[in-house]
Structure 1
């Protein structure tokens, strides 16, 4: 909390003013999110400054690793959680998040620019993208998972138990190959240099030259193009299509700032926030900003086929896919 400083003048006022005036508090909104969102180069600092200009509040972001780790932390804390809002889950985690019973309806209405119709009333999308393997442009990438498995290319991926990209890859392979998924993972096992807890660690290893390709997004090269004026990174296009990620935010039923939490969710789909996200979170905005997409996004590859498993079906598919993944990588 931010408290009014007590100086001599304030002390005198306190003698005659009601306690609520003497000890006025700035309301605080606590938002749990993933680490890269709150990094100095992420959207967190700009989102915080922009929202605080309008809310008369103190917005406090708390980084919790990656998206799946975020949900695990929330489950551990339960109703005792200090979070008012959770930002950074995705469609693969929506069903599990609802099962906690900790969330309430969003009260958000927006003109979404998503590839699918959004009907969920508990979570509000704020950005989206396609998972892809990013590589240097001097490499000729494979065009299928089978071709990747047959190659000697080294890749870095994220753990599906702690990372939303890792879970997205698990669902991507399972959705594309069904009963063949375990054999695909068996083939890929030799290509995997390491499995990291989150996206930041994996992408850092790729940039350090520890792998030929890294699991990331089709939008990741936009960072290098726009922020670094470097067009040496590209996303490989796979014939199986690409799995979609829609990132969402939701408010907790136990929040002691329910109106402020609702205001924040509506702010996240406003033009002010949506115009920040493309060049800080490096994803497509959920609502098209008035200025459109930044220059550089037109150079990104666009998958011809999008894959997305219905969020209600994910838990059962995830359990089977995770067992296959663990079995293949432990051999």
Structure 2
């Protein structure tokens, strides 16, 4: 009887401990929480210090996160969202679902960061990745005139897809519709997210895929494969700065703020370059991993200010849909 009583007491104590452990829910994109992504390492590192249960919830690609939040509204179970970017910040703020959070860091970004709602955790340049045996076109016009086949992502669900729209629109303005008409025949398919598109490229379904100038670092470092490269375009390259933000309806507001500060800490920033394969928002104490020095560095960086992005995005999306539906 005493053994049974002791077992029951132990079980009750363990159950109570689990019940007392706060849970922090973070919505993010699928590749972040994959086995090879940063999610598992970030989760383990944060849980070492937070006394909490960090739960990542994958939801397609970056742009799909905002769509889900709009659908769920204040009912969302998320405490934070990780994976929006500067192209979506204004639209995210318009929902009224996010709370200002003080996060201070010595950012190593190409631009000054002053936003008080979102904290940047990594950044990169969009680019078309190809096999090194291919001589890539030098700009969008040349790409449209070529027979090179490309895979891109849907701007309605994917931040790279949206970044491509902004890249073309920023570079060509009123001529953007003509550029898209030229590119329409080059597009093999449009995927919902980055993972699907990159997978099709690796399977040989296309000559080039919309990705990042940092993507070849994965092949160089993880696979010792130097057969992938990023094409440098004359128009320059559009930047992406990925951010994390806290929801106003979070029932763990202080813990959520702690997570945002953790994401710009050396512990997190040192994980990101070789798991998310992007540049860290704050330079890690050990610097960038060997292999990053081999990456191309665009001379002309493009980025539409966050507050101007919504209007430009709507116009660019209409142009894109018009060209690809013909």
The alignment's TM-score, normalised by the length of structure 2, stands at 0.96
Which of 2, 6, 9 pairs up with 1:9? 6
Aligned equivalent of 2:323: 328
How far, CA to CA, are the matches of 2:227 and 2:184 in structure 1?
27
Matched residues, number: 322
Gaps of 5+ in 2: none
Structure 1 counterpart SS, 2:160 = helix
| 1:154-173 correspondence to structure 2 within 5 Å | 154-173=149-168
Q: What is the rounded CA distance, in whole Å, between the counterparts of 2:234 and 2:119 in structure 1?
A: 31
Within 5 Å, which residues of 2 pair with 1:51-90? 51-90=46-85
Contact preservation (8 Å) 1:33, 1:88: yes
CA distance in 2, matches of 1:131, 1:233: 15
1:286 is aligned to 281
1:212-251 deviation digits (Å, cap 9, x = unpaired): 0000000000000000000000000000000000000000
Shift of 1:106: 1.9
Q: 1:95 touches 1:311 (CA, 8 Å); kept in 2?
A: yes
Distance (whole Å) between structure 2 residues aligned to residue 161 and residue 23 of structure 1: 39
Taking the aligned partners of 2:281 and 2:24, their CA distance within structure 1 comes to: 23
Whether the aligned pair in 2 keeps the contact of 1:67 and 1:163 (CA below 8 Å) is yes
Once residues 154 and 237 of structure 2 are traced to their aligned partners in structure 1, the CA distance between those partners, rounded to angstroms, is 18
> Residue 107 of structure 1: CA displacement?
1.6
Q: 1:12 Cα deviation (Å)? A: 4.7
Query: Compared with structure 1, are the counterparts of its residues 22 and 318 closer, same or farther at alpha carbon in structure 2 (3 Å cutoff)?
Result: closer
Alignment of 1:303-318 (within 5 A): 303-318=298-313
1:123-172 Cα deviation digits (max 9, x unpaired)? 00000000000000000011110000000000000000000000000000
Q: Which residue of 2 aligns with 1:135?
A: 130
Q: Could you tell me which residue of structure 1 aligns to residue 146 of structure 2? A: 151
What does residue 246 of structure 2 align with? 251
In structure 1, distance between residues paired with 2:101 and 2:110 = 21
The runs of 5 or more residues in structure 1 that have no matched partner are 1-6
In the superposition, the TM-score normalised over structure 1's length comes to: 0.95
Is 1:215 the equivalent of 2:210? yes
Distance 1:21 1:243 in 2: 50
- Of residues 36-45 and 22-31 in structure 1, the stretch that sits farther from structure 2 once superposed is 22-31
Relative to structure 1, the CA distance from residue 13 to residue 281 in structure 2 (aligned partners, 3 Å threshold; closer, same or farther) is closer
**CA displacement, residues 189-221 of structure 1 (integer Å, 9 cap, x when unaligned):** 000000000000000000000000000000000
Distance 2:11 2:210 in 1: 58
1:24 CA drift (Å): 4.7
Deviations 1:290-313 (A, max 9, x none): 000000000000000000000001
**Large movers: runs of 4+ above 2 Å:** 7-15, 20-24
1:202 matches 2:197: yes
1:268 has 2:263 as partner: yes
Give the CA RMSD over aligned residues: 1.6
